[in-house]
Amino acid sequence: MHSVAVERVVTGTEVQLMSGLEAEELTRKQGMNSRVILVGAVIVALVGGVILGRFSSGLGGGGSLADIASERGMTVEQAEGALKAFTPPGEYDEYVLVSSGGHSGQLHLVGVPSMRLLKTIPVFTPESWAGYGQGADWSQAILDEGSSNKQARELAWGDTHHPALSETEGAYDGRFVYINDRANGRIGMVDLRDFKVKQILDIPNMQTSHGGVFVTPNTEYVHVSSMTPMPQTENGYADLEDYADLYRGMSTFLASDPDTGRLDTDASFQIELPPYTQDLADAGKLESFGFAFINSYNSEMAVGGNAEGGVPIETGASQADFDYLHIIDWQKAEAVANAGGTEERNGMRVIPLETAISEGILYFAPEPRSPHGVDVDPTGNYIVIGGKLDQNATIYDIALIKEAIANEDFEGTDRYGVPILTFESVVAGQVLLGAGPLHTQFDGEGHAYTSLFLDSAIAEFTLGPKAGVPDGEAFQLVDKVSVHYNIGHLAATEGDTVAADGRYLVALNKWSVDRFPVLGTLKPQNFQLIDLTADKMAVLADMPIGFGEPHYSQIIRLDRLTSAIETYEPGTDPLTFGPPAFATAAGEERVERDGSEVHVYMTATRSHFTPDILRVREGDTVFLHVTNIEITPDATHGFAVPGYNLQASLDPGEVVTLAFEADRSGSFAFYCTEFCSALHLEMQGWLLVEP
Ligand code: CUA
């Protein structure tokens, strides 16, 4: 978006710091209503008679803002960046960045533009602040359900990579966010009412999933594709000699319940893919609605073996000049699945590769070697590919793809018989960007922004006429900005959707090297906030990320998060949002014993638990049903028992059951872990386990 951000200057009453150029621009834009007077190095902006700001470029004797900038050794640009990114205390950011947390297994919510960490949501990994996976029944149920399928044992961690916010008509609707586990081929669903995970699904017939996650434009399906292919054999084993014959990739369309967001395996289906390495994926929208796009690399099917006389995987996988963009007609696949054209495999309907080919579900288009990102622009017309080993962005046009399919304009088939569309017939343009193009985001005004991993930069280029760019200006590089260092993904405000608004871009950088003080050997990654509203992209702020390696993020406008609740209805089970049988009201607290099974119906409120003395016998099985009977927002209580590995967090209205074997006798002082009141320390009690 090429316009100066004058909106805040003219509407705000706050003091603004401006460079001379911006002041001039402001004067031009505001016409008769504003004057900018340049007095020496001091700029005084008058808009409608309101003095907005003064700046003295370090000469002293200017306004206090200039003094502060000067005292802190800031340049004009840095001071401007600080003001653009600053969100005053007590005010809200306009956007929330929903970030993967890498192998911390969590999700993180960050305010944009302030880049303040707002919240961490545990998904795949136990986390004690939220009382997640520390004995509370609802969270344990989710973690247990999510490690039901794989041959591995109970899974205690995940590698979150690609969040996908739910959409209605191609725009975020603020209802759910899905997040994959790259390590174990799972997906989690977080309900954006209470921002807690409600489901982890262990996806059958695939093992890992990298970036193949998206929702279709009305969240009809949540898509997850495999990264490394997996043997489609009874026992999940096949020697690598049989790679081409027995290993297969999977494109998984998980049906999402429109009311609960839960994924329903029975209504879902998979499409079998050749054993290439399927990578990033995106959903078609508007003009390309009904299609899905998946990048692949390693069409060479290299399996490594560098200690067995073979070549390393990275060499073997980078031989061919072209890999294959997978083009999937998911509406056709849905029809084939519903007509019974599937075979059942581990509880999932699978469309075999041969069927996908014969039914016209799967086509390939050549894409320059080792592609990574595939991103559909907000109009749905263009599909942008970044090739790790190619310096161009390659832009495909969905109309050309549809035409080539209709005309059977194929340059051949791959070894499995998948038709390959003629490259020249489906490509609208290429733009030379620089080294290592990966992922692309959009501003909704015909501009695309691609991360350059090797250059540590972001390149901005124009799309074509169908995105509103005049013919002569189409497919041209227009700007570049340096980032520090090794950018992977980038996220623009609502940049994945039809509502991309071109306000901010966040670079998700892998290395920070000398960017931050040396605080040990493990260094943070670095988010960088970039302003898209000025003529040239500019880095405004750094945000070191000290909690696992974020991969992808999406940025949603705060005002779309309308389903968020502040407190539960009294007596709510967070897993179902319904009242559990063991919800306890004030005055109904009790202990019920049935043989060696003890049920405690307990309430928590400031500043006591009732009952506060629990008497059980060694060997009893104890069910502690704790209800937080508070109705005040933020009146959260914790419940922790020393030595028993039990910790729950109870938000107002929430009911949690902690079940445990009283297998250690002793006197245990349980307590509330949240600093909830002046008498928080007194909010404790005794668990007496009689020998
Ligand atoms: Cu309740 Cu501290």
DSSP sequence for 21-51: HHHHHHHHHHGGGEEEEEETTEEEEEETTEE
pLDDT tens digits for range 374-432: 999 999 999 999 988 889 999 999 999 999 999 999 999 999 999 999 999 999 999 99
CB-count exposure of residue 544 (10 Å: 0-12, 13-18, 19+): middle
In this predicted structure, the answer to whether residue 618 has a pLDDT above a threshold of 80 is: yes
Residues 468/388, Cβ–Cβ less than 8 Å? no
Q: Report CA-CA distances (Å) from 241 to 237, 244, 276.
A: 12, 8, 15
Q: How far is the CA of 91 from the centre of ligand 1 (A)?
A: 27
Residue 4 has a pLDDT of: 34
Residues 161/182, Cβ–Cβ less than 8 Å? yes
- Give yes or no for residue 469 CB within 6 A of ligand 1: no
- Give yes or no for residue 630 CB within 6 A of ligand 1: no
53-62, 86-95, 334-343: segment of lowest average pLDDT: 53-62
Residue with tokens 């725009």: 171
- Give yes or no for residue 650 CB within 6 A of ligand 1: no
- Give yes or no for residue 651 CB within 6 A of ligand 1: no
Atom from ligand 1 closest to the CA of residue 672:
2
Structure tokens at 635: 């009146």
Atom from ligand 1 closest to the CA of residue 637:
1
Atom from ligand 1 closest to the CA of residue 636:
1
Residues 604-637 as b/e (b if ≥16 CB within 10 A, e otherwise) read: bbebbbbbeebebeeebbbbbbbbbbbeeeebbb
Higher-scoring residue by pLDDT: 93, 13: 93
Q: How far is the CA of 659 from the centre of ligand 1 (A)?
A: 21
Is the whole model's pTM more than 0.95, yes or no?
no
In this predicted structure, the answer to whether residue 621 has a pLDDT above a threshold of 60 is: yes
- Give yes or no for residue 680 CB within 6 A of ligand 1: yes
Atom from ligand 1 closest to the CA of residue 677:
2
Per DSSP, the residues of 306-351 read TTTTS--HHHHTT-SSEEEEEEEEHHHHHHHHHTT--EEETTEEEE
Residues 537/481, Cβ–Cβ less than 8 Å? yes
Q: How far is the CA of 615 from the centre of ligand 1 (A)?
A: 22
- Give yes or no for residue 110 CB within 6 A of ligand 1: no
Q: How far is the CA of 607 from the centre of ligand 1 (A)?
A: 6
- Give yes or no for residue 683 CB within 6 A of ligand 1: yes
Structure tokens at 310: 């073979």
- Give yes or no for residue 637 CB within 6 A of ligand 1: yes
Q: Return the closest-CA partner of residue 545 out of 158, 88, 92, 116.
A: 116
3-state secondary structure of 242: helix
Residues 610/603, Cβ–Cβ less than 8 Å? yes
- Give yes or no for residue 159 CB within 6 A of ligand 1: no
In this predicted structure, the answer to whether residue 644 has a pLDDT above a threshold of 60 is: yes
15-19, 404-408, 434-438: segment of lowest average pLDDT: 15-19
Residue 23 has a pLDDT of: 41
Atom from ligand 1 closest to the CA of residue 606:
1
Q: How far is the CA of 357 from the centre of ligand 1 (A)?
A: 61
- Give yes or no for residue 377 CB within 6 A of ligand 1: no
Per-residue pLDDT averaged across 535-564, rounded? 95
- Give yes or no for residue 626 CB within 6 A of ligand 1: no
The DSSP bridge partners found for residue 248 are: 230
- Give yes or no for residue 190 CB within 6 A of ligand 1: no
Residues 682/652, Cβ–Cβ less than 8 Å? no
Residues 649/135, Cβ–Cβ less than 8 Å? no
Sign of CA dihedral 161, 183, 389, 488: positive
Residue 13 has a pLDDT of: 30
Per-residue pLDDT averaged across 574-603, rounded? 95
